[in-house]
Structure formats: structure tokens, C-alpha cells
Structure 1
Amino acid sequence: MRYTAFAITTLLFFFGRPASAQINAARQLAYCTEQVKKTLRIIPRHGNNIPRSIVPGSSEWKFVGYKDWCSGFWPGILWYSYEATKSKTFLAEAAAFSSALKPLSAQHAFDHDLGFQIFNSYGNGYRLTKNPKYKAIILKTADTLATLFNPKVGTILSWPREVPGMQWPQHNTIIDNMINLELLFWASRNGGEKRLYDIAFSHAEVTMKNHFRPDYSAYHAVIYDRETGKKIKGLTHQGYADNSMWARGQSWAIYGYTVCFRETGNAAFLEFAQKVSDVYLAKLPADGIPYWDFNDPSIPNAPKDASAAAVVASGLLELSTFVKDKAKSQKYRKAAELMLTSLSSSAYQSRNKNSAFLLHSTGHKPNGSEIDTSIIYADYYYIEALLRLEKLQKGMKLN
């Protein structure tokens, strides 16, 4: 980790400078909404066409159907664009693209990604419109996600099917699942059963106990004995190695435990959110944008992952509002602002290269998939982080 000292020096330099000099959230939000307009002009108006990624050197989106785990991010971006502009065009488009995902609420769960899909789309839609039809879909989907919970283990099954290395039919849980707990917490206090809260709490608690190494870096996946609940092993599926810190996996932990504290008020989750954040921040490159895996031996020639940076920036902005220690709160806020400043530079913004927001995300490097690419979830968390920063700059609460 030869970059650690340089990164820390840069962060300390940044912390001493006024936030207003670093990034204008409103200006970057305007950039995002203009990019969204570009995509809306070129997106096919037939079939089930939801943007997912754009490979380097191209301006053409790869489109996916509603069952793809990324299907909720584009509708979510449209809802955030509506929130930023109050444009009726964005409102109509957000409603239309969300509607394509409605069948997920009426089907059996085929993986854990229902939170990514439904809460990012219909969840944002309900937050902004209070449409009761949206609420019904969210509640129905939460019940569907809950069917994957194994009480013998205490976590939600991530992949209810055979995936390489997961020792099926044993119980597997991936760190990504932390993001889907928000759907269950929300449903439990908006008309759903209390058991949804209990499931989410149990999942977070068991994951906290079994999914992390002594330095608080996360395994991507943990396999449990489905009958006894005993941990069999921790491993990776998308990271460099079983013992490496996959950047986006750590970002899911940072964001997920911050949400768990917000939803439960449990001090252990707040403390843990800080621990998983601190190990990530200590190993960052100077620009605040991680390589796809912190332990890839090819660094500095390894690909970056802007998506992980966007997730962490959004999570740290919220975490900074919960931490009572003023110096540490400011550390998280300034670190998030550094990440957003880098993401908003010509090095990372797509600008005229394509109609996404960001370049240089890494999806599944071991599989050779979406490497150094514009990916829709990077854009989703980037615009979310900018909206959060704008609220904080105006002295507003995030929730």
C-alpha cells in the first residue's frame, strides 16, 4: 500500500480547505440532468429497454430487461432528476420506466436484488409523490424478499440457485445484500409486518459477525451451512482474491451499515459503519477513487472503480450527520467531497464521450465484464450523493 501516505497527505490538505471551493453540487446536478436528457433522446421506445452500461469508446448503451439486477437504477436516476429539477418530463419518464419493474412484486424471488430494483425505483417514486399504488408495490416486494430469509442462518439467501464456488445448495450471502435491507426496514414501518424489521436486523447483525476480517475489510461472500447456520467460509466472487478488499464490496458495507443505524438507532451499527469506512479511507489513492480491488498486485495499472467511489461518497455524507465527534464527522464529509470533486472532473465525467454521467467503473473483472466502463449504478449513487451534498450545503436534513 505505497499510496497510503500520499493519500492521507492529500486528504489532510483537502480537509483544511473550504467545501464551497471544491464542488458546486447544483452545477454538477445540472450536468447530470442534461446527460439524462441525452439518454432519453436516444433510448428505444419499444420493448423493455433499460440502460445498464456503455463500453469504452462507444456512445451506445447496453440495454437490459426488468429482471436484470441493475434495472432499478435508471428509473431511480429519473426520480432523482425530477427531484433536482421538478420537471414534469422527468416525472413522466420516471413513472413510465418504474412501471416496467412492477412484475417483480408479483413473482417468486430469484435473487436478493429486489431492493436495488424496487426501492430505487418505486421507493424514490413514493418518497417524492406519495402515490399509494407505489407503496403497495413496495410492500408486496418486501414480503417477496423476506421469503429468502433462512432463520437457521439469520441472513437472507443471496442466490437461490447454483453459482460457481458457492457450494450450492448451502446458504450463501453476499455483502451487496446490505443495501437491500433498507426495503425491509422501510416496509416494516409503513404498513408491513414487524418481522420484516427483525429479518433486516438479524441479517445485519449476523453479517457483522461473520462477513469481516480483523481489519474490518469485507469478504464478498460467506457460505453457511443451511441447516446449522454455521459459517463454512468467506470468499470472493467478483474481487481479486478471497482475502482481498474488493472496493465495491466495501462500499456496500459502508453504505449498508449507515442505513442500518439510521433505521434502528443501534449504536453497534454506527460504530461498525465507521470501522468499515476507516479501513477503506486509509488505503485510498490520492484522488479518492479506488482501484477495483485494493489488493490487486497490478496497481497502479489496475482499473479504477468510480462506482465504488460514488456509493461511498453518498454513504459518507449521511454517516457524517450521525457521528457526534465533530472532527470525525468533518473527516467523513470532506472525504466524500474529495471523491465527488474527483468524480466531477474531466478525468471521470463522461461529458461528450457518451450520455452516462461517469467513466471508469469496473463491474465484474474476474469475469472480464464491464471493465473501465460507464455503468448505471455509478451514475445512480453519484446523483444521489450530489443531491445529499446540495442539501447539506443548504443546511437541510437528508431524511
Structure 2
Amino acid sequence: MWFLYEATGNEKWKTEADKFSRFLTPLSVNKANDHDLGFQILNSFGNGFRLTGNNEYKQIILKTADTLATLFNPKVGTIQSWPYNKMGGHNTIIDNMMNLELLFWASKNGGSHKLYEIAVRHAETTMQNHFRSDFTSYHVIIYNPETGKKIKGQTAQGYSDKSMWARGQAWGIYGFTMVYRETKDPKFLDFAHKIARVYLDKLPADLIPYWDFNAPNIPNEPKDASAAAIVASALLELSTFTENPTLKKEYETKAVLMLKELSRNYLSKEANSALLLHSTGHKPAGSEIDCSIVYADYYYLEALLRLKEL
């Protein structure tokens, strides 16, 4: 809704965006139940503050960043993702990269510098432990909470512990691109290029991934429009940091082709509360298969706005 307000200037969307953002206010004062606070608060109140300058929004964002930081384990070097289901240790999922932007934002807008340090440490630890030698991502890493030692890599929403879950790789590409933007440390940019390369090289012809690149019944497997939208948005930003003209052109061209394919064949044509169809949430649990999912719409709109700006 904030993106629709930004795109159209229509006050209707601003009113609705404010109303629905405010439902999330308790997250800024309650104990952290999971890592998703960055998604929930920066994508709502963060966009609201960016577009309106409302100081009330800013205070909510800053409080929530402090709440997210309570899940950080300095012995491990990451923010715990699911405190309610430890899975045999301190768990961190690749999705958590997306929540670091909240900490970066807060550290620059009145919050503690420690928030910046936590975000950088989390990104460094994830870069070291969350990826296989071929730069494909695990979904979950389990650490010993006392020693910080990595115990194992596994999946929750992917096909197997050894497979490349499409949205997980997408979170990584977007996340490390964002971390480079916030730190300007070239190691994060280099890593974003490497994990983008393996994703792009394994895509099917229409550039919309199956829910897992190693799912056993491709091409008779569900697609994941959400992963495509996330990567399209990430590639548009990554292209702006890319000096190699051939690579820059590839990122821009493929991002546009992804958005064209989503717009042609994945947009809902009927009355629907969502924009995009055909995302896959959690196939192993039989949940959200061939569905509309809110974050698919969010990153689709973000990508369109980034494309417009470019």
C-alpha cells in the first residue's frame, strides 16, 4: 500500500497504508518472537516514514530494532530466527538476511552503533557458514549456542538439506546486495555476484524458478513467483553497483524479462486481494502451494518502482 501510494500519489493508499501499518505497532514493544521484525516493520513503517517523515513511525522503527537485537547471540555471531523452535541449537535461516536492513537503518537514524555491528557480524557469519562450496544456500544453519560452532545445515521449506531452495537463494542475493549498499564493503558485493550467478545459471527458460531447483519432478513442480520478484528487485539494485558493463547489462535485462513474465503470465486477471499468482510458501508442509503470497506482491511492486527510477 505504501508502494501504491508512492507510485500513484493517491491519498486513499496513504490512509490504508497507515491503518494497516498501525496494526503492527505491538511488535515494537513486545518480546521478540522471531526474526521477521525487519520485514514487518521496515517494510511498513519504514516506507511510511520515508514517504511522510512521520516521527511517530520513526520511534516505532527504532524500538523494534532494539527488540530484534535481543535475538543476537554474540558467541554465534547471528540473530536467532526461531526462538520457539530451536531445532537442537541456535537456528538461523537465510531469510534473516532481510531483517538486517532494519538494524542498519536504526543505527543511522538515532539508534545505537551496536545495531550496525550486529548486522555486519550476522552477514559475515552467514557468508562463512550458510553456503556450500558451489555458492548455493542452505535454508537453516544450527549452531551450538554456547560455543558458536556450526552443527549442521538443513532445510525447512526446501526439498532437501542438500537442495537449492529458490526463495532461500533469492533472500541471499537481495540480502547481500543490501548489506553492500549499507557497508560499501567489497566482500559483500563480490559474494552477491557469486550467489546471483549460480541462481541465474540454473533458471528455466522463462526465468521464473521452480520452488526448489532440485525438486524431483521438474518440469511438473510448482513455480515460485515470490522468488522471481525478490530476485528481479535485487538484480536492479545489484546492477547499479556493477562496473562490468556486460554483467550490468545482464542483470538489468534479466530483471526486466522476469518482470515482464510475471506481468504477462502470473498477474491475477480476476477480482483478487493479491497481484501475483503462483507462489510457493512451504511445500514440504503442504502449505501455500500455488498461492498468492503478500511478499511476492511487495517485491514485485518494489522492483517496478526501482525499474521506473532507473
Residues 359-398 of structure 1: matches in 2 within 5 Å?
Answer: 359-392=277-310
Distance (whole Å) between structure 2 residues aligned to residue 211 and residue 322 of structure 1 = 23
Deviation at 1:162? Answer: 2.0
Q: What amino acid sits opposite 1:266 in the alignment?
A: D
Distance (whole Å) between structure 1 residues aligned to residue 271 and residue 213 of structure 2 = 28
Q: What amino acid sits opposite 1:376 in the alignment?
A: V
Counterpart position of 2:206: 287
Counterpart position of 2:74: 151
Counterpart position of 1:225: 144
Indicate the SS of the match to 1:117. helix
Distance (whole Å) between structure 1 residues aligned to residue 163 and residue 238 of structure 2 = 25
Distance (whole Å) between structure 2 residues aligned to residue 339 and residue 306 of structure 1 = 10
Distance (whole Å) between structure 1 residues aligned to residue 30 and residue 293 of structure 2 = 26
TM-score normalized by structure 2?
Answer: 0.99
Q: Deviations over 1:196-235 (max 9, x none)?
A: 0000000000000000001100000000000000000000
Distance (whole Å) between structure 2 residues aligned to residue 111 and residue 330 of structure 1 = 38
Deviation at 1:354? Answer: 2.3
Counterpart position of 2:231: 312
Larger radius of gyration: 1
Correspondence 1:214 to 2:133? yes
Counterpart position of 2:180: 261
Distance (whole Å) between structure 1 residues aligned to residue 294 and residue 207 of structure 2 = 20
Gaps of 5+ in 1: 1-77, 393-399
Indicate the SS of the match to 1:384. helix
Indicate the SS of the match to 2:281. coil
Q: Deviations over 1:164-215 (max 9, x none)?
A: xx21xx1000000000000000100110000000000000000000000011
Distance (whole Å) between structure 1 residues aligned to residue 115 and residue 278 of structure 2 = 37
Counterpart position of 1:354: 272
Q: 2:37 aligns with which of 106, 114, 137?
A: 114
Counterpart position of 2:102: 183
TM-score normalized by structure 1?
Answer: 0.77
Counterpart position of 2:164: 245
Residues 1-399 of structure 1: matches in 2 within 5 Å?
Answer: 78-162=1-85, 166-167=87-88, 170-345=89-264, 347-352=265-270, 354-392=272-310
Distance (whole Å) between structure 2 residues aligned to residue 202 and residue 279 of structure 1 = 24
Q: What amino acid sits opposite 1:356 in the alignment?
A: A
Distance (whole Å) between structure 1 residues aligned to residue 216 and residue 27 of structure 2 = 40
Percent same amino acid at aligned positions?
66
Q: Deviations over 1:83-141 (max 9, x none)?
A: 00111111111111101000100000010000010010000000001111110000000
Counterpart position of 1:65: none
Indicate the SS of the match to 2:280. coil
Distance (whole Å) between structure 1 residues aligned to residue 177 and residue 53 of structure 2 = 25
Indicate the SS of the match to 2:191. helix
Distance (whole Å) between structure 1 residues aligned to residue 302 and residue 202 of structure 2 = 24
Q: What amino acid sits opposite 1:162 in the alignment?
A: N
Distance (whole Å) between structure 2 residues aligned to residue 300 and residue 139 of structure 1 = 45
Indicate the SS of the match to 1:191. coil
Deviation at 1:355? Answer: 3.5
Distance (whole Å) between structure 2 residues aligned to residue 304 and residue 296 of structure 1 = 11
Deviation at 1:356? Answer: 1.3
Deviation at 1:353? Answer: 5.5
Distance (whole Å) between structure 2 residues aligned to residue 353 and residue 295 of structure 1 = 34
Deviation at 1:374? Answer: 1.0
Deviation at 1:161? Answer: 1.5
Q: What amino acid sits opposite 2:4 in the alignment?
A: S
Deviation at 1:297? Answer: 1.2
Distance (whole Å) between structure 1 residues aligned to residue 222 and residue 99 of structure 2 = 27
List structure 1 runs of 4+ shifted beyond 2 angstroms.
none
Indicate the SS of the match to 1:344. helix
Aligned-residue RMSD, C-alpha = 0.7
Q: What amino acid sits opposite 1:119 in the alignment?
A: L
